[in-house]
């Protein structure tokens, strides 16, 4: 499965399994959300909204709380113009940033 960009997601059908990656720009765990964690990732084409149910948060809490660059696999859902990924696997890929060439 290829990694989809935020722009790619707009062209896919709802309930499609996807893999996305991006810089973590937001982590939220509202007290009223019953343990659900919301993550926003940013790639070169836009923002990707991630929803992590409590069981996924418990399994991948270290990656969610520590990483600045994540690779997430999950189910994409579209509703009322909003695109969300329901996470089922989360991987810290921060080390890959070292592979980018430096700009002088």
Q: What is the pLDDT of residues 44-103, one digit of tens each?
A: 999 999 999 999 999 999 999 999 999 999 999 999 889 999 999 999 999 987 887 776
Contacts of 94 (CB under 8 A, 6+ apart): 67, 68, 69
pTM, 2 dp? 0.91
Q: What is the pLDDT of residues 23-32, one digit of tens each?
A: 999 999 988 8
Question: CA angle, 65 as apex, 38 and 40 as ends, to 5°?
Answer: 35
Contacts of 101 (CB under 8 A, 6+ apart): none
Question: Domains along the chain?
Answer: 3-89 (2.40.50.140)
């Amino acid at each position: 499965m290829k990694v989809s960009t935020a722009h790619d997601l707009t062209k896919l059908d709802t309930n499609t399994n996807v893999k996305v990656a991006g810089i973590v720009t937001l982590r939220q765990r509202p007290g009223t959300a019953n343990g659900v964690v919301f993550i926003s990732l940013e790639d070169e084409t836009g923002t990707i909204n991630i929803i992590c149910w409590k069981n996924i948060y418990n399994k991948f809490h270290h990656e969610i709380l520590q990483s600045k660059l994540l690779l997430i696999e999950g189910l994409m859902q579209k509703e009322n113009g909003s695109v969300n990924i329901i996470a089922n696997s989360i991987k810290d890929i921060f080390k890959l940033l070292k592979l980018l060439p430096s700009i002088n």
